A and B are shown apart, each in its own frame.
Chain A
Amino acid sequence: MPVTTPAEAPATTRGAPPLPPRGKPGRPAAPVRRAVRRRRRIAAVFLLPALLLLGALVAYPIVFSVIRSMYDASGDTFVGADNYTEMFQDPATLRAIRNSAIWVVFAPALLTGLGLVLAVLTEKIRWKTAFKLLMFMPMAISFLAAGIIFRLAYEQDPQRGVLNAVAVSVHDNFQGENTSFPTAKARLGDKQLTKGHDGSYRTTHRTSPGNTVNLGLVGVPPKEMPPAARPAASAAKAPAADGELRGVVYLDFTPGGGGKPGTVDRGERGLPKLSVEAVDSHGKVAAKATTGPDGSYRLTGLAPGSYAVQLPANDFAAPYQGISWLGPALITPAIIGAYMWIWTGFALVLIGAGLSSMPRDVMEAARMDGANEWQVFRRITVPLLSPVLGVVFVTMVINVMKVFDLVYIIAPGPVQQDANVLALQMWLVSFGGGNNQGLGSALGVLLLLLVVPAMALNIRRFRRSQS
């Protein structure tokens, strides 16, 4: 029973029956009117649960929040816009706003860029489905699980956190072969060695080249001795040539007892890979050497004179402990990293879909004309993909503004304030001890206002798709 003829139908919705035109001349006959009323009743029944829930739990809270945001913490006094001005004065909230801005500036751009690069590259491999599947997998899991995963990966201790394990091994490779023994020290009352202000050790008396100087240290627990360390006794007796100082740096401790302090007893092992320096009478380093597995060193090419043998401070420095990912300075980049782990697959799949629906022949034609891959990418792929890139970017901006769980989970308690973002601050102020529901509501309204452009975009996109 069509109420309107197709010719009158306003083109509002695709495929859907159009609305009955308003202001139609003449009233319809009674049975028609009854049918219309019946239809409206049916429509109301179909819509009722949805409108009830949306009205009570979405629309009403917006109105409530706007009003509540104009009252003070207790909700008794009307304060107008005070909560909104306070937002930009309260240091904690200001930091949350600043961090949210960092998120919005970096995360969407990085994600879109990485997604684009990966999408273009995946086009060229045969196992692209498997790759996309792998990259998309993190989208399935909760922010909580992802947060736990990254909290572990970012652990400071290189024995636990994989990122610092990598950082330390890279660092050690670049720092060369030297090791250090942070606990090593001269024996108490040792007359041979004097400790410097910087933690280095130097022989108390100077010696001239051609002599042997053996330096005994204590304080290295047996389990921290490198397995490569060899007994030092035989190297300790080797005579020095002209113009060189030689000797061993050894652990002056005989396992099982029986050793004599100050001498290289049998079974006492050398301390390998330590730096040893010869310091001349002006305090300048004249020669450098590194000890071998038996602790032996040779400082060669020394001019006649008297030298002190020095073990520099970095022989005793604490080992490099990696990067403090979860410290106050890096916490936001670290959390953005975890966020990218989750969302890159999304960008990749969406951009990849756009890429596969692109006209191949345009790119082929450009290649035939001698364009290289970079030019094809820059002048053809990216411009043709720009609508998809826009969708990914806007989606990420909206998502990033609401980021909460990841920050809440990854940032350890003491640095939570350094990682704070709007949604988290809203939570903290309203429920997490702040107990200022006026300011909390204002922050909620701010979050809503920030997504209004996206809202307008959605509506415009929808209306355009309907016309």
Chain B
Amino acid sequence: MTTVRATTGPRRRMTARPAKWLSRGVIQVFLLVIGLVWLTPAAGLFLSSLRTEEANASSGWWTALTAPGQLSLDNYTALLKDSGITQAFWNTVLISVPTTVAVVVIAALAGYAFAWLEFPGRDWIFLLVVAMLVVPVQIGLLPVAKLFGALGLFGSIPGVVLFHTAYGLPFAIFLLRNYFAEIPKEMLEAARMDGGGEWRIFSQLVLPLGRPAIASLAIFQFLWVWNDMLVALLFADNESQPLTVALQSQMRQFGSNIGVLAPGAFLSLIVPLVVFFAFQRHFVQGIMAGSVK
């Protein structure tokens, strides 16, 4: 028995090792292929955005890999001269930045109240907010459109901002309230003992301590609004439409509009990508936390 064991032991290990090494190689190749597959469609659009209309009509973007001479920035210069597109780009900024600020400020106030202020019905109201987390925007479209129509907000940037803010709030309040609630009770009580008013405690203690959560929230909210199409499709008019809406109106003649759509899509996704690479950790955390939405 012992001799058998002595011989099988090492042999097993010797066969196991190359097998492991081999399987690791297979895994590497597999993941490399997956990575390439993931990269290809985006690379395709990017290269297409750098090719002329004729080149895109007559040959595939992959020909540019072997003949890089066909690449030029002409589409981009043409796009940036198009006042409709640049206007839409600024509209996107004018919609997403104020919305982000509004959501963060309003949710921070409410989150603080839910976490640290006492008032009757607090827990019930907060549960209502939790319930609103998954309410689909669709349910708000028609009634709010009527409401905004009556208020003269329909087809304007403030209308879009208000709608986004309202639908961003449940998650924002949920996130910040939970984060603020983790602040040690002693710190707040010490501040209250020192005679700090609620506003001072909020602005000088809670806000600085909540910075990581606020950063994640701000990034998530900014991207959510920057990337939105549905809300703006309804609530914005031609003057106030963001980039997504301006571009989707070109989709009907997709084939002949690649020269506008491809660089336009890159114009719209360059900002999120910069945000992504600049704030990777907050970004991932924000998305993860926001996934309950």
Contacts and interface: CB of A to CB of B under 8 A. Distances in A.
A431 B233 CA distance: 10
B281 to A, nearest CB: 11
Contacts, number: 293
Contact of A142 (B109, B272, B280): B272
A16 B244 CA distance: 42
A140 interface: yes
Q: Is the interface of B mostly helix, strand, loop or mixed?
A: helix
Contacts of A409: 229, 248, 251
Interface stretch (A144-152, A175-183, A294-302): A144-152
Interface in B27-55: 27-28, 30-31, 34-35, 38-42, 44-45, 48
Contacts of A408: 229, 248
Interface residues of A, number: 103
Contact of A159 (B42, B59, B128, B130): B59
A59 B183 CA distance: 30
Given A125-B27, A165-B60, A448-B136, A148 B262 contact: yes
Interface stretch (B2-10, B66-74, B112-120, B207-215): B112-120
A78 B136 CA distance: 25
A58 B104 CA distance: 18
Contacts of B114: 47
A321 to B, nearest CB: 14
B160 to A, nearest CB: 12
B136 A43 contact: no
A50 interface: yes
Contacts of A17: 116, 118, 185
Given A15-B182, A402-B138, A50 B173 contact: yes
Contact of A65 (B34, B116, B119, B142): B142
Given A68-B142, A153-B41, A140 B273 contact: yes
Given A64-B143, A68-B142, A149 B44 contact: yes
Interface residues of B, number: 110
Contacts of B146: 64
27 contacts: A15-B181, A15-B184, A16-B185, A19-B118, A39-B118, A42-B199, A54-B166, A57-B140, A57-B167, A60-B143, A61-B139, A64-B146, A121-B31, A124-B24, A124-B27, A125-B27, A125-B31, A135-B35, A137-B42, A145-B45, A162-B61, A165-B60, A346-B287, A401-B136, A405-B229, A423-B138, A458-B130
Given A350-B288, A408-B248, A413-B252, 18 more contacts: A13-B123, A17-B116, A19-B123, A47-B119, A49-B110, A53-B169, A54-B169, A56-B147, A61-B140, A64-B146, A136-B284, A140-B283, A159-B60, A160-B60, A162-B44, A444-B142, A448-B135, A451-B135
Interface of B: 23-24, 27-28, 30-31, 34-35, 38-42, 44-45, 48, 56-62, 106-107, 109-110, 112-120, 122-123, 125, 127-144, 146-147, 162-163, 165-167, 169-170, 173, 181-185, 189, 192, 198-199, 202, 223, 226-230, 234, 244, 247-248, 251-252, 254-255, 258, 261-262, 264-266, 268-269, 272-273, 275-276, 280, 283-284, 287-288, 291-292
